[in-house]
Amino acid sequence: LKGNLPKFGVEVEDEDAMSLMVSQINTWNFDLFKFAVISKDHPLVSMAYVILQSERNLLRSYNVDPPTFIKYMFVIEANYHKTNPYHNATHGADVMQSCHVLLGYSVVEQVFTDLEVFAALFASAIHDVDHPGLSNQFLSNTSNELAILYNDHAVLENHHLATAFKFLQEDELNWASGMDDKQRQLFRKMVIDLVLATDMSKHLSLLADIKTTVESSKVAHNGKLVLESYNERMLVLQGIVHSCDISSATKALPIYKAWTERIIEEFYQQGDRERDLGLNLSPMCDRQNPSIEKSQVGFIDFIVLPLWETLGELMFPYCQEMLSQLNENRMYYFSRIPESPRCSITDEPEERNNLISSSEKRKNLR
């Protein structure tokens, strides 16, 4: 199948604008929202084609037929929910592009094989396909059929993987038919390990294991990153993909704010359903008690910073710009944490006397 493919994998209005954006594909502050517009709402198809074909020539390395790969990526992109404020195809393209930047740093470029790089980029592209905009906890709490199918364990992550690989079974979408069996088996195993590692409930154990591996590797090879076993290599690759999945706070402030607005709206929509179902609302999901600034500072302090500090050690001297941007972004939200609302009991005795109790108030309102 040698159809003459468009230059960027998809037809675009403005080739010059697209070329200009693609020239920035190796930069950390790439504007995915603008890219989604210029690619005519095909950010994932065009991102995958530009990175894997034009930038890295990985499709040819594994006898992947480009038109078949494009057709497959159109199906994957169509199975990301456009109606999700956050977990849509633009997020998939964002994680893939972020992963492409980190894997381009020389400190890791020599460490990983082409197949491992291909697996990490492909895993990033498909890692949230068919995401319903609801959390694993919600799916389990509501006995969703996916939670029953996957027994409450990494429900979404198992579903993303099964969805992506099921399409690969279809002859007209099977771009992997040109790979030899051994490569295809290893590729599939790595993609599964990588996407399962994007489950936030694995975050602390993954972080602990990466720390151990980075420590032992740096000690054993006087500061050089040397990864011997499959497990060590996979751990670092899982750390890179997972870091890209929670990289919003390391991006330029306007981009970070846009992602925050989107995830918060998605959380609020889940909270609306939890409220309607009489369930306890999940953290950060109550639009009637917003805590955006505090949640971002908490998310950075408890989760994003510890992970990116570890990545910064592993990738040293790279990733320092991400860490300084992360601190700048933390200060932005920290400085906007609203004063705790003044409590109703004032400290002026006379005011206290004519203060009727809140239950009295409620009675009067009935």
Minimum Å distance from CB 92 to Zn ion? 7
Nearest to 284 by CA among 132, 140, 138, 88: 138
Q: Does 266 participate in binding Mg ion (rule CB under 5 A)?
A: no
Minimum Å distance from CB 27 to ligand D5T? 20
Residues 6+ apart with CB under 8 A from 69: 48, 49, 52, 53, 59, 175
Minimum Å distance from CB 292 to ligand D5T? 9
Options 65, 94, 116, 128; binder of Mg ion; rule CB under 5 A: 128
The DSSP 8-state label assigned to residue 334 in this structure reads H
Catalytic residue among 42, 87, 100, 131: 87
- Determine the Cα–Cα distance for residues 271 and 360; give it in Å rounded to an integer: 31
The DSSP 8-state label assigned to residue 300 in this structure reads I
Options 216, 302, 338, 352; binder of ligand D5T; rule CB under 6 A: 302
Q: Does 200 participate in binding ligand D5T (rule CB under 6 A)?
A: yes
Binding mask 258-287 for ligand D5T (x = CB under 6 A): -xx--x-------------------xx---
- Two tokens, residue 183: 């490569």
Give the E-state strand segments of the chain in sequence order: none
Q: Which is nearer to ligand D5T, 207 or 246 (CB)?
A: 246
Query: 3-state class of 206 per DSSP?
Result: helix
The residue behind tokens 């065009």 is 46
The residue behind tokens 């602990």 is 208
Interface with ligand D5T (CB under 6 A), residue total 15
Q: Does 130 participate in binding Mg ion (rule CB under 5 A)?
A: no
Options 93, 161, 206, 246; binder of ligand D5T; rule CB under 6 A: 246
In contact, 314 and 239? CB cutoff 8 Å: yes
Active site residues: 87
Which residues are near ligand D5T by CB under 6 A?
200, 245-246, 248, 259-260, 263, 283-284, 295-296, 298-299, 302-303
